[in-house]
Structure 1
Amino acid sequence: MPDLPFRPTFRRSWRLFQAFRVEQTDPDHFYGTLARDSVDQIGTYADLAGAWVLDVGGGPGYFADAFRADGATYNSLDADLGELSGLGDPEPGTVLGSGMQLPFADGSFDVTYSSNVLEHVNKPWTMAEEMVRVTKPGGLVFLSYTLWFGPWGGHETAPWHFLGGQRAARRYERKHGHPPKNVFGESLFAVTAASGLSWAHRQTGSDVVALIPRYLPRWAWWVLRVPGLREVVTWNLAIVLRKR
């Protein structure tokens, strides 16, 4: 294992799981933990010092701070101004737009990154293709998303999403007195590991560098080889590509 800050250990997995539990109640802890872990993980595949990074669905500035701390030039794109304003004014260089039609020229960025956004768009693999398109030849694409059949697939409605996304949303509203932030069929969709693996192998614009259960310890990465089991255990699939 390289001598880098990223260590795919059980302790790291538990820390991330605990952070996910407070996404709604303590977003500073959740997003800060996830941002630092994400940048450390990307650093195993690309040198971020001097790299121009596009974060698709970057939201508030937690990820901007983490990427810039490693020397990257950071731009983000988001479809929701409210999400971008979570820490005050949007970050400089932020663009409002659709991840399924990125408003950038071909080959613009050294690294394109997206974390836990793909499950929120209704054409996930169109967004994935767009990320490859705007990446420079030789650049890195790091795309990860939450699996529907994993423990956090329903986001704040989990684990009741296993009984159906709409049923889970109705239960959440009865309990809390308001709808969930992530509404199944509108801003949350059932994306699987199988669909991501299939897209990664059939796309032709880049080489597959790694397909990993993003938050699991290294010894558990074999689960991706087992259909069915991988949908439940993987939790979050990361697709790492090198643009041709």
Structure 2
Amino acid sequence: MRKNLPEWLTPTALRTWRKRATLTRALGLLGAFRFEQTAPGKFYGLLARDTVELISALWQGADPAGHATLRGTRILDVGGGPGYFGVAFSDAGAEYITCEPDVGEMSAAGIQLQSSVRGSGLDLPFRSNSFDVTYSSNVSEHVPDPWRMADEMLRVTKPGGVMIYSYTVWLGPFGGHETGLWQHYVGGEFAARRYKKKHGKEPKNRWGESLFDVGCGEGLRYAEDVTAGKRAAADDVELLAAFPRYHPWWAWWIVHVPGLREFAVSNLVLVFRKN
């Protein structure tokens, strides 16, 4: 294993996470994906634990001393869903708050969280500078204006805090979500119609209504704009890392290759620090 990797491949914020970003982890998450619709507790429980490990490592990596933990931190999960993530973060000792617009989604797993707030990620119902960590996992592709949501997340992040923005890339293999691995390449509407014809019902994620085509390059352009002060999200924002969430560390370089990244990066993670 190479030790002297270039900074663009392994930024300081990712050095802790690199140890866990293995091929074994990637294959395990890929195998669990097939249970998303049939056994969501199994899939989302595993994903929640993995998410806590990821955010814990990024929070530690963002700390100049490298010793920070999630215990006692105030965390906002935008689009937290049915509660699996809340349980995992509570076990890590964090003060966890989730903001979710869908009441049915919030109660789908029967997990009751006192810290659940109903609201839209496009207009977060929180004061500015309120959270140590704000993050969103696989939500941006479900809102019509994902970069407005990113701006809102930065707004409510405290100075010195971290915003972690993770989303499914449309042209990646999972861009169509449950509608298939290739059908969305033909078109989102085609994929939705084919799903309905095959299963006799509309897909949970309907293209153009609750599923949108967000690219990898779009996220990197947003990062350039916000760090250059071209958006009103915050005055001083630093991009700490941009990497593919489910890839082993030795495949992180894909993010830096235009064209290829749109198809090979299934999920992009952007890590910002608000100074």
Instruction: Using structure 1 for the length normalisation, give the TM-score.
Output: 0.97
Q: 1:214 aligns with which of 209, 230, 245?
A: 245
1:156-235 paired onto structure 2 within 5 Å: 156-159=178-181, 160-203=183-226, 204=229, 205=234, 206-235=237-266
2:23 matched residue in structure 1: 10
Higher Rg of the two aligned structures: 2
Q: Is the Cα–Cα contact under 8 Å of residues 16 and 57 in structure 2 kept in the other structure?
A: no
**Unaligned runs of at least 5 residues, structure 1:** none
1:98 matched residue in structure 2: 120
Q: Does 1:21 align with 2:34?
A: yes
Structure 1 letter corresponding to 2:238: D
Q: 1:73 aligns with which of 87, 95, 103?
A: 95
Structure 1 letter corresponding to 2:249: R
What is the deviation of 1:104? 0.4
Task: Work out the CA distance in 1 between the residues paired with 2:194 and 2:88.
Answer: 36
Task: Work out the CA distance in 1 between the residues paired with 2:214 and 2:46.
Answer: 24
Q: Is the Cα–Cα contact under 8 Å of residues 170 and 213 in structure 2 kept in the other structure?
A: yes
Task: Work out the CA distance in 1 between the residues paired with 2:19 and 2:210.
Answer: 31
1:112-157 deviation digits (Å, cap 9, x = unpaired): 0110000000000000000000000000111100000001000001
Q: SS where residue 43 of structure 1 aligns?
A: helix
Q: Would you say how many aligned residue pairs link Structure 1 and Structure 2?
A: 244
* Stretch of structure 1 that moved more, 155-164 or 120-129: 155-164
What is the deviation of 1:20? 1.6
Task: Work out the CA distance in 2 between the residues paired with 1:147 and 1:232.
Answer: 8
Structure 2 letter corresponding to 1:228: G
Structural RMSD (CA): 1.4
What is the deviation of 1:91? 1.1
1:80-119 paired onto structure 2 within 5 Å: 80-88=102-110, 90-119=112-141
Check 1:23–1:124 CA distance in 2 against 1; reply closer, same or farther (3 A cut).
same
Q: Is the Cα–Cα contact under 8 Å of residues 41 and 109 in structure 2 kept in the other structure?
A: no
Q: Does 1:144 align with 2:166?
A: yes
Q: Does 1:45 align with 2:45?
A: no
Q: Is the Cα–Cα contact under 8 Å of residues 6 and 37 in structure 1 kept in the other structure?
A: no
Task: Work out the CA distance in 1 between the residues paired with 2:256 and 2:164.
Answer: 20
1:121-136 paired onto structure 2 within 5 Å: 121-136=143-158
